[in-house]
């Protein structure tokens, strides 16, 4: 191999190694646990509606647990390439809807947000972007239920 080729290979190796290095930034999990003054079925319906309107595919695991896949953060024919290669944010939600009594429901929302900022970096947990945050999801759910 020529010295120029060796230098190019060394530079690419150094770039790839530097892009993958570095500690993750610690942050608090984005979790809310609240009691809403509405029947369980209405709350479950509102959660599914809000998450579906927000771009999530919602799966109902059982009577209490709702889970989503990753939200469609970018809407174009190139979604997969843009998210996988060049990075952006992606989020998914786990919700637990349980009856507290006849007219109130406990709701636990956990939003998992991951970020990526380049071709050679991997997805890492990141602080949740405001539009996808558990606080904002709760606000939208309360609006759907017409609770102030």
Domains of the chain: 27-145 (3.30.530.50)
Q: Give the model's confidence band at 83: pLDDT under 50 very low, under 70 low, under 90 confident, else very high.
A: low
The pLDDT tens digits for 13-46 are: 655 555 554 555 566 889 999 999 999 999 999 9
Helices (H) and strands (E) in the chain, counts: 4, 6
Residues 6+ away with beta carbon under 8 Å from 52: 58
Does the reported pTM lie above 0.85?
A: no
What does the alpha-carbon distance between residue 144 and residue 142 come to, in Å, rounded to a whole number? 5
What does the alpha-carbon distance between residue 135 and residue 122 come to, in Å, rounded to a whole number? 27
Query: Token digits for 33?
Result: 């646990």
pLDDT value for 115: 83
The pLDDT tens digits for 90-112 are: 899 999 999 999 899 999 999 99
pLDDT value for 111: 95
Percent of the chain surpassing pLDDT 70: 73
pLDDT value for 38: 95
13 by DSSP, 3-state: which? helix
């Amino acid at each position: 191999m020529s010295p120029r080729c060796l230098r190019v290979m060394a530079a690419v190796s150094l770039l790839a190694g530097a892009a993958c290095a570095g500690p993750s930034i610690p942050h608090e999990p984005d979790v809310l646990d609240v009691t809403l003054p509405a029947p369980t079925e209405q709350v479950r319906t509102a959660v599914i509606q809000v998450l579906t309107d927000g771009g999530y595919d919602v799966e109902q695991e059982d009577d209490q647990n709702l889970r989503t896949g990753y939200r469609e953060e970018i809407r174009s024919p190139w979604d997969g390439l843009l998210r996988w290669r060049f990075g952006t944010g992606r989020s998914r939600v786990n919700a637990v809807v349980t009856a507290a009594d006849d007219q109130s429901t406990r709701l636990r929302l956990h939003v998992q947000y991951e970020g990526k900022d380049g071709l050679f970096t991997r997805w890492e947990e990141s602080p949740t972007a405001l539009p996808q945050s558990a606080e904002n999801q709760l606000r939208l759910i309360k609006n759907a239920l017409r609770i102030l």
